[in-house]
Structure 1
């Protein structure tokens, strides 16, 4: 392994100059910097991480903080997101610190990370519409990126999917198929993406003269079991006519709806329609459902990789307004959606 001193001797430069060139110090000319980088690549020089951090004043660490009440290691969405994120950070020689804290102490832990110098940046996930974590990091001038966004025009770096367009398209499809009793199984009510999806569903429905009652909307953990409980209650008819279609914020929730429909003998695609958002989880492929599931599709692993790239750029000082990316979600129509049953058009039961 080539050392810094050997690299400097090969180039006829001082070790200090070579170190400054490798670490991007502005006093080193561009021609010299490129010469050093080319030689370091050819001679397979790899900087000692401790020395590099001492030279740059950077820790080489990125932090994420989650509520300790959630066991994220059993959440397939988080695991796949983490796969994309950790790989992307490793490519940039950044290490990820995952930290947990009680809900009441979350902000204090963000403030401690930002002031301690233990991390060079933070990744904020699952933002709320009014998110004090974000406002605190902005006030401190601390580098961070957000998985999601709290509004249309925001001053920070983010990667998000167009939740509004995705759920507007899904709702429009159901309306075109004749459905007027449409239920929404959503995530936890305080999260920004949850609000965006519900607004889109209600807007499209209202534009078509359709009222969605509160009993047709649930806000909960996006799990199969919770979805099964909500769908069972809605399909029971105890509170009024049951829905003829379900929109789900995850494919896990779609599994719960399928179970609930089976318990009351409803055929998916003919007597009950389902559309779910598909994060492209490797072990839960909606095309293999029975029947295949109609989805709005956007890979969550891609989000992790994109945020890693943005985090590296923010640490390097890139303007956050240049690091804002929103991608669309593809509507893929499969056999889980069909025309509303004749008996479900005007009355009930369907």
Structure 2
């Protein structure tokens, strides 16, 4: 069936059928459902060129993909893209990636606007000096941000998790367990998520009357290599009486390196050191799969990818209007890697984390 045949079958105009298929808000929900069911039943697939001519839309959402010698393929992005792709398939929307090095990012967005190759873009990895929001606005490209810029934090649509709240709660758990010597292996603080997480740690320490100067804070890209290197710096030559007893980690991938360092140094969790990591619910890397199951702050980045796609399509079609700010709470899941702080000069003891969390 082509569009004309589908419209004749449904006894509707081609315009109404096209608008129903593309999610226009003025189409009644009953009509939209009827059109979608008939299209699926009869195997109708819209011709992308015809759809673009009929609706003025490309049927695609875009992302400017950072590339270059210093850019790693981030497993978080792969998981996010999987969730986005699953929802895009259900909405019959294509995903378009435009690779560009950082210094040519403006050129990439300008090319997207000029070619009208996508109907909207999403912005991720929000930076402290974020410039892309103003850029895509000036270019007239509909957009949705995954994350929040530091300034301004309002006036545009975004989806974010409560990074500050997550690491505040994680830090508070360690403090309740008696840990006063803390280390935080953070992500790159050129990005706002890492700044928000550090703010959460500082807020919890301040509320407990613990000097912030006592926090051993390290900022680096979130990967296994940096986790291993930083853990070695913190623990290899440190006096057990003064080294950290509580560690916060920004990513499961960083934690892989930290745990490898602990194993080499003979440091046991949670007897010697308690650790809490951020877990994005990766199907291939689970906190329960470690020898000592990891306490985590948990939020699914795959689900976030699906939600970003859903909202961006709604923004493009006029269903979502005005700046909508969506912040997801983050769960704290207590497992075996957290326990009471060891007494000075004595080995630690297991247990007690669940009670402290309550």
TM-score range, shorter chain: 0.7 to 0.9
Aligned mates of 2:319, 2:13 — CA distance in 1: 30
Match of 1:116 in 2: 115
Shift of residue 206 of structure 1?
A: 1.9
Q: Deviations over 1:183-218 (max 9, x none)?
A: 111111111100000011012112222234488111
The CA deviation at 1:141 is: 3.4
User: What is the distance in 1 between the residues matched to 2:23 and 2:207?
Assistant: 55
Q: Is the 8 A contact 1:59 1:119 kept in 2?
A: yes
Distance 1:142 1:180 in 2: 48
Q: CA separation in 2, counterparts of 1:338 and 1:100?
A: 45
Offset at residue 11 of structure 1 (A): 5.2
The answer for the alignment partner of 1:182 in structure 2 is 182
Judge which range, 310-319 or 108-117, deviates more. Answer: 108-117
Tell me if 1:236 matches 2:236. yes
The 1:53–1:176 alpha-carbon spacing in structure 2 relative to 1, beyond 3 Å, is same
Q: Report the CA distance between 1:39 and its aligned residue.
A: 5.5
Q: Given that residues 215 and 234 in structure 1 are in contact (C-alpha distance below 8 angstroms), is that contact kept between their aligned partners in structure 2? A: no
Please tell me whether the aligned partners of residues 157 and 324 of structure 1 are also in contact (alpha carbons under 8 angstroms).
yes
Q: Are the equivalent residues in 1 in contact too, given 2:182–2:215 (CA < 8 A)?
A: no
TM-score by length of 2: 0.85
- How many Å apart are 1:241 and its aligned residue? 3.4
Conservation of the 8 A alpha-carbon contact between 2:182 and 2:214: no
Query: What is the SS of the residue equivalent to 1:282?
Result: coil
What residue is the counterpart of 2:105 in the other structure? Answer: 106
**Structure 1 position 57 matched with structure 2 position 56:** yes
How far did residue 30 of structure 1 move?
Answer: 9.3
**Contact 2:124-2:145 at 8 Å conserved across structures:** yes
Q: CA deviation at 1:123?
A: 1.2
Do 2:181 and 2:215's aligned partners in 1 also have CA atoms closer than 8 Å?
no
8 Å CA contact 2:113–2:140 kept in 1: the answer is: no
Q: Note the alpha carbon deviations across 1:94-138, whole angstroms, 9 max, x for none.
A: 111122222212222223223331111111111113310112123
Q: Which runs of 5+ in 1 are unaligned?
A: 346-350
TM, length-normalised to structure 1: 0.87
**Cα contact 1:155–1:320 (8 A) shared by 2:** no
Specify whether residues 41 and 276 from structure 1 end up closer, same or farther in structure 2 by C-alpha distance, changes over 3 A only: closer
Instruction: State the 1:57 CA deviation.
Output: 1.1
The answer to whether the 8 Å contact 2:247/2:275 transfers is yes
1:224 aligns with 2:228: no
Change (3 A) 1:181 1:90: same
2:76 is aligned to 77
Measured after TM superposition, the shift of residue 80 of structure 1 is 1.0
Aligned to 2:339, the other structure's residue is in SS state coil
Write out aligned runs for 1:198-217 (5 A): 198-213=198-213, 216-217=216-217
Aligned-partner SS, 1:291: coil
Is 209-218 or 270-279 further displaced after alignment?
209-218
Contact 1:227 1:257 in 2 (8 A): yes
CA displacement at 1:264 relative to structure 2: 2.2
Which residue is equivalent to 2:292?
Answer: 291
CA distance in structure 1 between the aligned counterparts of 2:200 and 2:2, rounded to whole angstroms: 58
SS in 2 for 1:342: coil
Name the Cα RMSD after superposition: 3.0
Structure-2 change in CA distance of 1:140 and 1:320 (3 Å): farther
How far apart in 1 are the matches of 2:16 and 2:334? 59
Distance 1:317 1:214, change over 3 A: farther
Q: Is the 8 A contact 1:310 1:323 kept in 2?
A: no
Aligned equivalents of 1:128 and 1:20: distance in 2? 37
